[in-house]
Amino acid sequence: MMAKVVTFPRASATDTLDSTQAMIDGDSVADPRDGDHWSHLMLLAQDGDRAAYHALLQGITPYLRSITRRYLGRGEDAEDGLQEVLMVMHRIRHTYERGRPFKPWLNTIASRRCIDLLRRRAHRLKHEIENVGEIDDAPQVAHGPDEAVSRQQSTGRLQHAVAALPERQREAIRLLRLNELSLTEAAEECDQSVGSLKVACHRALKSLRRTLERKGTVHE
C-alpha cells in the first residue's frame, strides 16, 4: 500500500529560514526555479522535513515536466516520465551533496530516466511491430467498427475491474504491470515486502481474470 496521504504542515523546522518558509507558505519571494532554493529545500528534506520536501517537489515539477516533454513529447508518456523521475529522485535523494549545484544533479537524473524510457519505448515499438507482422501473416478476421467498439468495451471493463480491486491489489497492479517496476522497486515504493507484493499481484490477476471471464471479455 502506498503511504497514507497527509496534509502538510505550513510551518516546520524551517523557522530560521525565512525565504524557505515563504516558499513553503506559497509566498514566493524568489524565483521558484532558483537552484539555490531547491538545494536548500533538498538539504532540509534530507533531514526529514516533509514540508520542505513537498515544496521542493512542487517547485521542481514544472521544470522536470519541461525536460520530460523535450525527450518524450507532450503526451501521456511525458507525464509518466515525470512521475518516474520523481520516484527515482526520491529514491536516491541521499546522493545530493551539500554545497554542490542542485540543477545538474536533477538534470542528470531526469535525462538518464528519460533516455531509459525512450529505450524502453523503442523496445516496445519493435516488439509491437514484430507482433503486427505476425498478425498480418495470420488469417484476417473481423476488422471493422464492430471490433473497434468491442475492444473499447473490453478496455472499459478492464479499467472498471482494476478500479474495483482492493487498494493493496490495485497498487500492486499499478506498480508492477502499469509502471513496470521490478519487485524490489515496487516493494520499496509501496512499503510492502516483496513477498506480500507478489501475493497481492497474484490475487489481483486472479480476481481480474475471474471478473473478466464472468463478463466474457477474456479471449484466449
Binding residues vs other proteins (CB under 8 A): 2-6, 8, 45-51, 53-54, 57-58, 61, 79, 82-83, 86-88, 90-98, 100-101, 104-109, 112-113, 116, 120, 180-182, 184-185, 191
Q: How far is the CB of 51 from other proteins (least distance, A)?
A: 8
Distance CA 86, CA 106 (A): 10
Distance CA 104, CA 80 (A): 22
Distance CA 48, CA 106 (A): 19
Q: Is 170 exposed, middle or buried (0-12, 13-18, 19+ CB in 10 A)?
A: middle
Nearer to other proteins, 6 or 138 (CB): 6
The total of other beta-carbon atoms located within 10 Å of residue 91's CB is: 13
Nearer to other proteins, 81 or 211 (CB): 81
The total of other beta-carbon atoms located within 10 Å of residue 51's CB is: 22
Nearer to other proteins, 120 or 214 (CB): 120
Q: How far is the CB of 11 from other proteins (least distance, A)?
A: 15
Q: How far is the CB of 2 from other proteins (least distance, A)?
A: 5
Contact by Cβ (8 Å): 74, 7: no
Distance CA 82, CA 62 (A): 9
Nearer to other proteins, 59 or 211 (CB): 59
Nearer to other proteins, 128 or 180 (CB): 180
Distance CA 14, CA 52 (A): 8
Q: How far is the CB of 217 from other proteins (least distance, A)?
A: 25
Q: What is the CA radius of gyration of the chain?
A: 22
Nearer to other proteins, 119 or 206 (CB): 119
Q: How far is the CB of 179 from other proteins (least distance, A)?
A: 10
Q: How far is the CB of 64 from other proteins (least distance, A)?
A: 10
Contact by Cβ (8 Å): 96, 105: yes
Q: In the block, which residue shows the cell 497514507?
A: 4
